[in-house]
Amino acid sequence: MVKTTSLENKIELLYHKGQKNIWNGKEYLQECLDKHGEINLSATDAMALKNIFGIILWGELAAWKISSILSFQLEDDCARMAATSQAHDEARHYYVMRDYLRLLDVPLENIDLRFLPGNIDPYAEDFLQSVLQADNIPKMLLGMQLMVEPLALTLFKIVREKNVDPVLSDLLLMYEKDEARHVAFGTMYLPKILSEMTAVQKADLLVWQFFGYMKQFEMLKSLKNDFVALGISPRDVFAVARKKQLNAMEILSEELGERYPLMDTMIRVIDFRNEMNFPEKETGYISKVKNAVRVAIN
């Protein structure tokens, strides 16, 4: 019998769980439509969903491409299996979200694998392209599994609980189950990769991660009006995103056996920017800066 490590067993189990929980996107979307009836949204809500989930669509495409690349480049069989399972999930997420967005009464240009999905926000494009065009496996894995996926889970949770559209809410339940496995893959496997990196390589990864978070923040800020249109507080979106990403980093720290480098510093900078852009209440600039500093250092 071939012996495997505990880590290999856990990562391989993600593949088998993925296989067990495969769902047919075409059939499930139709079931949701049969259950809830025709999608009935105001033009404002439909456009806000198009803006938010057009970015999600591009994110699913990026995740599909990256997981496919990882399934080819990773050397461990168990990690390749997990990446292959994720690529299968992301392909389904992409075509189901594409088909759902086509049902909204708003134009959605360039629904094609070769292009961005039409009028994507430039900040979102910058952030997702930085992950898609990352120059090594650690950046791809960290960017996709511990930055993009937690943010996607945040948007799924917030919109689903708001129940803007019951059809979308049911779809997002299935997405969340898949995405949770993808985050788990990152938190399990990234420590192994980090242990094999030099100090210079780790420093480069941390700098890249920090600027990635700044781009991600700008993307969320650019969607402020769309969240407001749906009755969603942008501040609440940030709070949930922060919690999910912090949880992912805490799990990563546990796997590493030590506090993730510069984690607390990055959190303070992000908290400062959040308080400056999404203050709990509007005040004068000086008061806002003082409050942002207070929140960041506490």
Read off the pLDDT of residues 164-200 as tens digits, 9 standing for 90 and up: 999 999 999 999 999 999 989 988 998 888 888 888 8
* Predicted pLDDT at 106: 59
Per residue, the 3-state secondary structure of 107-134, as one string, reads: CCCCCCCCCCCCCCCHHHHHHHHHHHCC
Q: Is residue 151 domain-resident?
A: yes
Question: Rounded mean pLDDT of 84-89?
Answer: 96
Q: Is residue 67 domain-resident?
A: yes
Q: Is residue 254 domain-resident?
A: no
Domain count for the chain:
1
Question: Rounded mean pLDDT of 90-99?
Answer: 95
- Cα torsion angle, 135, 271, 245, 190, sign: positive
Contacts 24+ apart (CB under 8 A), 23-26: 23/92, 23/174, 25/92, 25/93, 25/95, 25/96, 25/99, 26/96, 26/99
Q: Measured between alpha carbons, how far is 125 from 51 in angstroms, rounded to an integer?
A: 12
Q: Is residue 147 domain-resident?
A: yes
Q: Is residue 97 domain-resident?
A: yes
Instruction: For residue 108, name the pLDDT band (cuts at 50, 70, 90).
Output: low
Contact 215, 270 (CB under 8 A): no
Q: Is residue 211 domain-resident?
A: no
Q: Is the pTM above the cut of 0.75?
A: yes
Q: Is residue 170 domain-resident?
A: yes
Residues of the domain holding 110: 6-205
The answer, yes or no, to whether residue 119 has pLDDT greater than 80, is: no
Q: Is residue 46 domain-resident?
A: yes
Give the CATH number of the domain where residue 90 resides: 1.10.620.20
Least reliable range by pLDDT among 38-47, 78-87, 123-132, 225-234: 123-132
